[in-house]
Amino acid sequence: MIKKAFLVLFCFFVFAGAAYAQEDDERYIVKIRETADFSLLSDFSQSLGDELDSNLYITDDLSAIKDLESAGMVEYYEEDANLTLFESPYNDTYYSYQWNLAMTDVLRARNVTAGSNAVKVAVIDSGVDTTNPDLTNVAAGRHYSVSNSTISIDSDTMDTYGHGTAVSGIICAKTNNSQGISGIADGITLIPLKIFTTGNDGSLSAMVKAIYDAVDVYGCKVINISAGISTNYSSLADAINYAYSKGVIVVAAAGNDGTSTLNYPAAYSTVVGVGAVSSTGTVADYSQKNSSVWVTAPGTLVPSTISATYSMSLSKIADYYAKVSGTSFSAPHVSALASLVASYKPNVTPDEFMQMLKETSTDLGASGYDTSYGYGLIDMYAALDYFADEIVFSNISAGSSSISRSIYNLTDSTLSGSVVTAFYASDGTLADINIQAVNIAGGSSIEVAVPISVSDCSKIVQFIWDGFGTMKPLADSAAVVQ
């Protein structure tokens, strides 16, 4: 027994004089094993410092820790560290006012994408005041004015009413620039198409012309219309259908009467009609309650940008910033989301977008769809996550002999797997399969060429084999004529 004790003490003697390099301000947390001989710890009472919990100590003596470790008494030790308070992730002055961002999970969505400048969002409204320091990603647009049988178009999109500027700020105010507010999708490009100078002087003809221009002149993927009319006009329906046929996602405010009256274009089946909720998640009294409401989004006292000169009703925060209310300001949340999705999945269709909203929105009110909340409150991160396992494959033109398109990896990690292309005959049977290995870096794309190897081919479907034993469909293509 004496011999054993001597050996242990000898170990301590040998290591006691060892020098270990450490900074003067380094500190450690050390956990002593439950099975340790605690009678020996008395020799280190001066070195171990305070006990944080049973067998858990704080010390700045690395040599003592090493001696204890050599004797087999240390379960673990680690350097003490400085923690960080989780304050605002952005430095925008009025970010703390923006309850709408947390409610719709914008922060996590922005970690995926803040939008691509290749994605253009048309805001058909009262223009935009680009002197607002938060609105730096606004491109040149058009101003439409109608007199008798003439529609005049110029480039003066300056907003002196304030409405369009508030809509635009929700979509794309610059984030983390030490001023103002944080927009949802500040990476996109906004196109102002001005048809209003006050709150009720926009003409139907100007609206129709602006919709066609958004599609054909500017190549917009998303159109926001925070306005409407209770009559269904054929010219407006035709313009909306044209945008839909071109793959453009149209988002419109449901209206602010708080009644069941339908307003157009929100009431069209190809348009995402948006109702408003307050910061409590309760539908706003003023929000329309009817079948046009597809989803809801924040709309009551939402912080946003305003113009230097304005005449609309608002609750001013400071110069260039105010809290605004109405379904007009719910709609741009959904338009911003559409722009994020389009940045993430460039060929997303209006139908895919609306289906995604149906499946990912947070159900509020009565279970399932209801005319107050639609399918529920939008969830921006869930929306992007909905498409996370997909790889975008463009539609195939009729009569093509091969597919050669970009495939996008929509995750942050490298994708290693295979693209599986299935060819179906006109009778619905599987005619052939092509398999090509792929390795795509996160957030990147590659070109994959697939020959159409069958003469009787009515449909082509692509899948991705993700390497984990699952097959995920990409998208049904357009019919291929033999």
> At 411, which CATH number?
2.60.40.10
How far is 475 from 165, CA to CA, in rounded Å?
A: 37
Residue keyed to tokens 């494959």: 393
Claim to verify: residue 11 and residue 68 sit in the same structural domain:
yes
Confidence of residue 24 (pLDDT cuts 50, 70, 90): low
Claim to verify: residue 20 and residue 150 sit in the same structural domain:
no
How far is 111 from 116, CA to CA, in rounded Å?
A: 13
Claim to verify: residue 41 and residue 174 sit in the same structural domain:
no
How far is 329 from 229, CA to CA, in rounded Å?
A: 17
Residue 446: inside a domain, yes or no?
yes
Closest CA to 115 of 209, 186, 27: 186
- Count of CB atoms within 10 A of residue 435's CB? 12
How far is 265 from 229, CA to CA, in rounded Å?
A: 8
Claim to verify: residue 111 and residue 251 sit in the same structural domain:
yes
Claim to verify: residue 279 and residue 363 sit in the same structural domain:
yes
Residue 87: inside a domain, yes or no?
no
- Count of CB atoms within 10 A of residue 438's CB? 16
Residue 265: inside a domain, yes or no?
yes
Q: Which amino acid is at 110?
A: R
Claim to verify: residue 360 and residue 467 sit in the same structural domain:
no
Strand positions, DSSP E, 409-477: 415-424, 430-440, 445-451, 459-465, 471-476
Residue keyed to tokens 């995402």: 272
Indicate which CATH number applies to the domain containing 230: 3.40.50.200
Claim to verify: residue 306 and residue 206 sit in the same structural domain:
yes
Question: What's the domain range around 462?
Answer: 402-476
Residue 229 DSSP class: B
Mean of pLDDT values over 94-103? 93
Mean of pLDDT values over 166-185? 95
107 has a pLDDT exceeding 70: yes
* 25-34, 139-148, 425-434: least confident range: 425-434
Claim to verify: residue 297 and residue 432 sit in the same structural domain:
no
- Give residue-wise pLDDT tens across range 394-453: 344 555 677 665 666 656 677 777 777 777 776 767 888 888 887 777 766 777 778 877
Please say whether the beta carbons of 328 and 301 come within 8 A: no
pTM of the model: 0.70
Most confident of 3-7, 134-138, 407-411: 134-138
Which tokens hold the place of 26?
């380094």
Domain boundary residue, one of 51, 79, 107: 79
Claim to verify: residue 379 and residue 247 sit in the same structural domain:
yes
Claim to verify: residue 312 and residue 353 sit in the same structural domain:
yes
pLDDT of residue 452: 78
Claim to verify: residue 382 and residue 408 sit in the same structural domain:
no
Phi first, then psi: what are they for 360, rounded to 5°?
-110, -15
> Mean pLDDT of all residues in the chain?
84
Claim to verify: residue 216 and residue 363 sit in the same structural domain:
yes
Please give the distance of CA 119 from its chain centroid, rounded to a whole number.
14
Total domains in the chain come to 3
Residue 118 DSSP class: T
Q: What is the CA radius of gyration of the chain?
A: 30
Catalytic residue annotation = 125, 163, 328
